[in-house]
Amino acid sequence: MSQPLSGLLHHERPIFAYSSPGRTGASLPACDVPAVDAQTLWPAALLRDQAPALPEVSEPQVVRHYTRLSQWNMSIDTAMYPLGSCTMKYNPRLADWAASLPAFAELHPYQPEDQLQGALQVLHELEGMLAALGGFARVTLQPAAGAHGELCGLMMIRAYHADRRQQRRKVLIPDTAHGTNPATCTLNGFTAVELPTSGEHGVLEPDTVSAALDDEVAALMITNPSTLGLFETHIVEIAERVHRAGGLVYMDGANFNAVMGKLRPGDIGVDAMHFNLHKTFATPHGGGGPGAGPVGVTAALEPFLPIPTVERAGDRLRLDYDRPRSIGRLRSFWGNFLVLLRAYVYLREHGAAGLSRVSELAVLNANYLRVQLRELLHVPHPQHCMHEVVASDRDLRPLGLSTIDLAKRLIDYGFHPPTVYFPLVVPGALMVEPTESETPETLDAFVAAVRAIVDEARTSPDLLRSAPHLAGIGRLDEARAARKPRLRYQPDADDPR
């Protein structure tokens, strides 16, 4: 083998390249029922005249191919994954175990309700636990992601205003918001109005909100703690002002892992909030899903919850589709059930005291990093942070380097890069979220890697510019990859052998 191992790993050929005519992965006994002629079942025009060119491979070839592919990605199971805002925390195997129990995994949502009582009980209790944590009257478990929860929340807010015969078209959003917030507004027919956060403290000021309030404002959409990792200290005053002007407060709860068990959003003036179960409460997060974004609401918004809801009827539970003011259906069946189940297990596993402790450790770990990173990089808001800390490349720029170079070099040190260039209010941002699940040793190793890279920036900046060097795939020309993507396997160009 002339290739280094990582080189071979990253040149896995497509499964078709292993195909050999007549090879098969399974040997089944001879068919003992009469064969049916496809022509008798389907119109001739719909039938293929040739079998599809599927790969003909042995079972070990299939297993090895996909196992090797699975090694390409850095994952939370192989390394620290400090993506701020995304909350890549360890996902307890206990939750996966429960989700793989046949009694749950093999349920079919069309089974009669009397066979689904166990599953409905999980949903009912999960709703109760999330409502208790958030301080809400009810919670819908339907939305399939945080962004879907935002959509659900704003649809309910729109229905609420329409119900009161009010035409309110604007939604106020601070400039630290995640991109999904303004996107959700637009999708819902609202106009997003951007509010500046104050430069020095990085939080939203009550007077900024007041200046934008009028009878056109349907809601304020605020992330708390914000994507700067800062608690919005004026939230109570701000919520009062929004309510006085007839608007509602929607909280993006993606960062709830910093405050769960400590603060109930319903108590500080929040009318609706989504939980990202795939960030805060177990469930592997990455690769695009599946997720779940349940939305908690106050009593005023309860009539508009999507259908179905799970209701108690005597000693039974049932799905209620008969809710006249509901915004309707958001998703097939009852949401991403197995994600909901994992969150249920996570909540039961930790209990109220344990969840509080999770928040404490998430905040402690972030501050442990903040204090050390501050010595190495510019940290624009050096005050106490919540679950994540945002640094910037200000001190690297005079060396002709930027955030992307540091991020790529971290891969060589065995760390997934943090979130880069977000939030937009910090130029060259590097947003680090350790979560509660990393050990002090891992945090120290991360800081040591950043320290080594900052030293290299002065002594051998080209090492950063051309990083990563140890990954199977080096630095790509991202603009060319986006403008002229090569999406087809080309055996001559792509095969190293």
Inter-residue contact 400 to 461 (CB < 8 Å):
yes
Binding to ligand PLP (CB under 6 A): which residues in 292-311?
Answer: 293
Could you say which of 197, 223, 336, 403 contacts ligand PLP (CB under 6 A)? Answer: 223
219 binds ligand PLP (CB under 6 A): no
**Those residues with Cβ within 8 angstroms of residue 352's Cβ, 6 or more apart along the chain or in another chain:** 261
252 binds ligand PLP (CB under 6 A): yes
Burial class (CB in 10 A: 0-12, 13-18, 19+), 307: middle
Q: How far is the CB of 277 from ligand PLP (least distance, A)?
A: 9
89 binds ligand PLP (CB under 6 A): no
Among the listed ranges 57-65, 141-149, 303-311, 487-495, the one in contact with ligand PLP (CB under 6 A) is: 141-149
- For residues 17 to 36, the per-residue mask of contacts with ligand PLP, x marking binding by CB under 6 A and - elsewhere, is --------------------
Could you say which of 83, 147, 317, 390 contacts ligand PLP (CB under 6 A)? Answer: 147
145 binds ligand PLP (CB under 6 A): yes
Report strand pairing: 191-195 vs 138-140: unpaired
Inter-residue contact 418 to 430 (CB < 8 Å):
yes
Edge-first strand listing for the sheet containing 419-420 = 389-392, 429-432, 419-420
Inter-residue contact 411 to 82 (CB < 8 Å):
no
**Those residues with Cβ within 8 angstroms of residue 183's Cβ, 6 or more apart along the chain or in another chain:** 147
Could you say which of 140, 227, 280, 336 contacts ligand PLP (CB under 6 A)? Answer: 227
Shorter beta-carbon distance to ligand PLP: residue 204 or 401: 204
85 binds ligand PLP (CB under 6 A): yes
Q: How far is the CB of 222 from ligand PLP (least distance, A)?
A: 10
Among the listed ranges 50-58, 97-105, 140-148, 429-437, the one in contact with ligand PLP (CB under 6 A) is: 140-148
Q: How far is the CB of 339 from ligand PLP (least distance, A)?
A: 11
- For residues 174 to 203, the per-residue mask of contacts with ligand PLP, x marking binding by CB under 6 A and - elsewhere, is ----x-x-----------------------
Shorter beta-carbon distance to ligand PLP: residue 226 or 372: 226
- Alpha carbon 31 to its chain centroid, in Å, reads 47
146 binds ligand PLP (CB under 6 A): yes
Instruction: Kindly state the tokens that stand for 480.
Output: 């060319």
229 binds ligand PLP (CB under 6 A): no
**Those residues with Cβ within 8 angstroms of residue 114's Cβ, 6 or more apart along the chain or in another chain:** 316
Which residue stretches of 188-276 are H helix? 206-212, 235-244
Could you say which of 291, 423, 428, 434 contacts ligand PLP (CB under 6 A)? Answer: 291
* Angstrom distance (rounded) from CA 367 to CA 467: 28
Could you say which of 254, 377, 396, 464 contacts ligand PLP (CB under 6 A)? Answer: 254
Shorter beta-carbon distance to ligand PLP: residue 297 or 449: 297
Binding to ligand PLP (CB under 6 A): which residues in 52-71?
Answer: none
Shorter beta-carbon distance to ligand PLP: residue 170 or 178: 178
How many positions of this chain bind ligand PLP (CB under 6 A)? Answer: 14
Report strand pairing: 419-420 vs 389-392: unpaired
Strands (DSSP E) contained in 57-163 are 138-140
> Terminal CA-to-CA distance of the chain, rounded, Å?
10
225 binds ligand PLP (CB under 6 A): no
Shorter beta-carbon distance to ligand PLP: residue 86 or 450: 86
Strands (DSSP E) contained in 147-238 are 170-174, 191-195, 217-223
The answer to whether the Cα torsion of 39, 43, 45, 46 is positive or negative is negative
Shorter beta-carbon distance to ligand PLP: residue 50 or 332: 332
Which residue stretches of 164-302 are H helix? 180-187, 206-212, 235-244, 277-280
Where is 317: in which H helix or E strand? strand 316-320
Residues contributing to the site for ligand PLP (CB under 6 A): 85-86, 145-147, 178, 180, 223, 227, 252, 254, 276, 291, 293
